[in-house]
Structure 1
Amino acid sequence: MIFRNLSAALLLTTGLCLPAAAQDRNVDAALQQIEALQAELAALRAEVEALRAETATSDARQAAIAETQSAVLEGQDTRLSAVEVAAEKNVSQVAWKGAPVISGDGWSFKPRGRLQFAGGHLSVPDAIDNEGRGWTTELRRARLGVEGKIRTNIGYKLEVDFADNEVEFADAYAYLSFGDAKVAIGNQNTGVSLEELTSSRYITFIERSALTDAFGLERRAGIRVDYAAGDVFLSGGVFANDLGSLIEDGDNQWSLAARAVYAPVLGKDTQLHIGASVQHTEFADEAQTVRYRQRPGIHSTDLRLVNTDRLEAASDTLYGAEAAVLSGPLHVAGEVMFANVDGLGAAPDAGFWGGYVEAGYFLSGGQRTYKDGTFGRPKVAESIATGGAGAWQIAARLDHIDLVDGSIDGGKQTAYQAALNWYADTYLRFFLNYNHLSIDGGPFAVAVDPVEGGYSADSVGVGMLVDF
């Protein structure tokens, strides 16, 4: 309609200026052109409508395809996620902590062991038997074992020592954890003494302080319960003989032991340790005898300068107190322990005691660690394996054991000890110890000095320890 009105107006305007005949011809031609244009416009309009319909159909088809693809992909993601979760639960992981630690789905397995060579030189007065003096060497420890978990809260540890051409059980126990508590059954430490509970891999000197050996602190077969929460650590248990003695000789004693530790952290990096322990042992066999004695600062000699020899005893009770401080490269520690011996029948009762105080300092690249009431593995900043110099530590210790009471003269030994340790790596360590010993009384007192009964001795210890 709009086109027709525009055409009529155009023709009317043109007709005012053209002759009549010409006007008629021109009008007819113009009308034909207009009709042709209108036909083309209608055809174009139809094509546009058809294209719009096809586009709408295509959009709907694309939307349907996209929706289908999304559903398919979502289903695939769900299936892949389920597969990945299942795989994560079943595929083991391997970490490295001195040896491979294989773990997965709440269980773990790790081989473990240590190899320690040690030797020493002992200088004693000529009046003492020559056996044990001079240079001696030994394979101090040669242990192999495994540890791990069979469930998140069920674990085990087994270690066998092959040193001295003998096979002996060290740790051999299984445990069950209940939150902050742990129950262990098997051959294990009774839980007494900071020095005894600290692994031989982590002690500062080649040998532990005199009180640990003199008073018979060792692993025994039994049940022990540990509790660790915050700054408090508690343990207690009941024990028989050590596992080797049980196998060879049967059960001829039982013990009760308990320990309590308070270990707060002061400031940023100062660890305080205060503890006390008690252990009571009943010797069930009436013919049982006990002996308290100690080596002269090195283990490679069998010579004991202090020794009570065999005493008839029904029981003994040990009371101990311990304290330590760790701050950066410095540590200070000390213990005192009293042994009350209940004589069997007419045999006399006796009381002995021992104690030590030590201090150690890392000159470079190291620091002693602490965990759950005991010292842990020292940190070494730079291993020689990576081009570092390792860590150097110096230490000094005053160590005393008194095995004299009444008619029992096992002797008194005071050791002034110095140590230089090189930690070439976290798992490799070299020792150098010097011990000056002051002896009063004991089995060799009369032979050395019949009047005063006192004399001195010196020992030097060297060693190497590697563990995994």
Structure 2
Amino acid sequence: MKLIKQAFTFSLALGAGVTSNAIALELYVDTKTKQIYAEPGPGRTRLGSFERVEDKQTSIPAVVPEPAAQAAPASSAEITAIREELEQKTNAITALEERVKDTEKVKVKYGPGLHFESADGNFTAGIDGRVQVDSQYNITNDVLPATGNSTPNELNSGANLRRARLGVEGTVYKDWFYKFEYDFSRGNGSVTSGITDAFLRWTYPGSPFSIKVGSFKEPFSLEEATSNRFLTFIERNMIVNTFVDNPNTYKTGIGANWAEERYQVGLAFQTEPVGSWSSAATSVNPNGNNSRNNGSGDTSWEVIGRISFLPWKESDSKFLHIGGSGGHTVVNSQFQGDGDFNNGGMSFAAFPGANVDRTNVLNTSNLTRGVKGAPGSRIIDNYNRFGAEMALVYGPFSLQGEYIQTDVHGTGYSGESLFGYYGYASYFLTGESRSYRKETGAWGRIKPQRNFDMKGGWGAWEIAAGYDYINLNDGNVRGGKADTIKFGLNWYPYPNIRLMSNYIHVLDINTAGVADHRSAGFNNANLDIFETRVQFDF
């Protein structure tokens, strides 16, 4: 086409210098320079004969080429060059299409956390985390004076990093869910103690049934099932901390779950955790259990489960929640060859909602003590836990309460019952309602009706008040008992930021007759505590 245009232009130029009775003009093109010539020569190929005709309307000479059939055919070299050029362009287009497809293979989004997803949806990954900065000021700190070489019994004021977690979770081929989370504030330097969740879960396609294997929370208690990001008060109530959380609720095992719109059931068979809750705890008990590395004892294990349902539900902001939990735990108490107690056992301890100074105000001490088989020795073989829970949500108003009982069995014990309960009410001044997650039968994230801004947005404001009681005295178990009242004020400027403040007043502490000297020093103590938390999660 380019050659014909050049020939046409050249013909017009020639047309000005020839007579009107000229019949035809022979044209040639140089195969290298592509120049048009009127005479043949070396390297020139004949284009054909062109006839000059008169345009009657404009009197502009026009040149009409001979029919294409008369044009000389292209050489094989030219055809090969055209084919090579066409192949190069095709390859370039194919490469560009592949690059476009590559950019579409992974989708990235935020909300909350950074999420990645393959184009076919078979693979996902999300990075999330949380930071909780707490402070504690002890307004009233009247305790018994220390005796002998004991340190003072008082609680200390200060601030600390309560939690600093980073995790990744996602799916593999849609039906497989994985999660790994690490808490940099746990374990007092023990690397494995920082592991919380580390499991793989498979969901039967199209059903509410799932199975998971790894390290995960015990299915026990409404407040324990609720993430610490979404608790109403800064710390969990005493019975949940004492019987579930403090002995390390993250244990290794296998679990099954069935979650419908109105109810969920969770069962698990679990053994000892990956690491310790603190430097003193390496197993299901907080006394240090060296069952691994020839600790001369079997690993502790438990069977545990929880069920919850909504017997009444008018809407997502008006419903009644009821549930129950139960578990049987076998405790590993280890002895030396001569019968002396080596390690293991179990103890239960409590603190009155403090978070910076978590001194055990109540403490049963180790329930395994003495020489095996000797008179007066005691060995905890197992304990059973039972729990009942209730929650009501009616718009911005909510109620929540739980009862937990732990029965101790073994040598020197006859089913001593340690128990406690709590109850509290909360109200959102800005009209929000508590969020409920059907997958876990627990509370979820609060989303303000209007985020905080300088144009009248206040975020969400919540007030709360509650009562908390625990009794660790029964039979041969003497750990003390206590009850408190507490008040909370929470501000949610955005869904992922929360500021909390709690005031706790201890009504009574009775530690008379407990074996632990520190706990005994808090008998009849007068304590008032003010706490704050700044929390950010993504």
In structure 1, the partner of 2:228 is 200
Q: For 1:139-150, what aligned pairs fall within 5 Å after superposition?
A: 139-150=161-172
Q: Which amino acid aligns with 2:268?
A: G
1:124 pairs, out of 137, 141, 146, with: 141
In structure 2, the partner of 1:274 is 322
Taking a change above 3 Å as real, the CA distance of residues 89 and 370 of structure 1, as seen in their structure-2 partners, is farther
In structure 2, the partner of 1:254 is 301
Q: Which amino acid aligns with 2:436?
A: Y
1:93 pairs, out of 91, 107, 126, with: 107
3-state secondary structure, aligned to 1:263: strand
Identity among equivalent positions (%) equals 28
- CA drift at 1:324: 0.6
Residue ranges of structure 1 left out of the alignment (5+ in a row):
1-82
Which one is further off, 100-109 or 393-402?
A: 100-109
CA contact (8 A) 1:355 1:401 kept: yes
Distance 1:336 1:163 in 2: 30
In structure 2, the partner of 1:110 is 126
Q: Which amino acid aligns with 1:284?
A: N
- CA drift at 1:416: 0.2
In structure 1, the partner of 2:417 is 351
Mark the structure with the bigger radius of gyration.
Answer: 1
CA contact (8 A) 1:286 1:314 kept: no
Q: TM-score, normalised by structure 2?
A: 0.66
In structure 2, the partner of 1:463 is 533
- CA drift at 1:132: 4.9
Taking a change above 3 Å as real, the CA distance of residues 241 and 194 of structure 1, as seen in their structure-2 partners, is same
Distance 2:460 2:290 in 1: 43
CA contact (8 A) 1:365 1:382 kept: no
Q: Which amino acid aligns with 1:382?
A: R
Instruction: State the superposition RMSD in angstroms.
Output: 2.8
Taking a change above 3 Å as real, the CA distance of residues 337 and 156 of structure 1, as seen in their structure-2 partners, is same
Q: Which amino acid aligns with 1:414?
A: D
Distance 1:322 1:352 in 2: 17
Query: Is the helix fraction higher in 1 or 2?
Result: 1
CA contact (8 A) 1:132 1:302 kept: no
CA contact (8 A) 1:109 1:147 kept: yes
1:215 pairs, out of 238, 243, 255, with: 243
Q: For 1:257-406, what aligned pairs fall within 5 Å after superposition?
A: 257-268=304-315, 269-287=317-335, 288-312=344-368, 313-343=380-410, 345-347=411-413, 349-364=415-430, 366-372=432-438, 373-384=441-452, 388-406=457-475
3-state secondary structure, aligned to 1:290: coil
Residue ranges of structure 2 left out of the alignment (5+ in a row):
1-96, 147-151, 276-281, 284-288, 293-297, 336-343, 369-379
- CA drift at 1:241: 0.8
CA contact (8 A) 2:144 2:523 kept: no
Q: Which amino acid aligns with 2:381?
A: A
In structure 2, the partner of 1:412 is 481
CA contact (8 A) 1:329 1:367 kept: yes
Distance 1:248 1:366 in 2: 48
Distance 2:360 2:145 in 1: 11
In structure 2, the partner of 1:185 is 213
Q: TM-score, normalised by structure 1?
A: 0.76
In structure 1, the partner of 2:270 is 239
1:226 pairs, out of 247, 257, 270, with: 257
In structure 1, the partner of 2:492 is 423
In structure 1, the partner of 2:71 is none
Taking a change above 3 Å as real, the CA distance of residues 226 and 88 of structure 1, as seen in their structure-2 partners, is farther
1:433 pairs, out of 495, 502, 505, with: 502
Which one is further off, 348-357 or 106-115?
A: 348-357
CA contact (8 A) 1:385 1:425 kept: no
Q: Which amino acid aligns with 1:304?
A: N
Distance 2:145 2:323 in 1: 39
**1:66-85: CA deviation from partner (whole Å, max 9, x where unpaired):** xxxxxxxxxxxxxxxxx99x
- CA drift at 1:456: 3.2
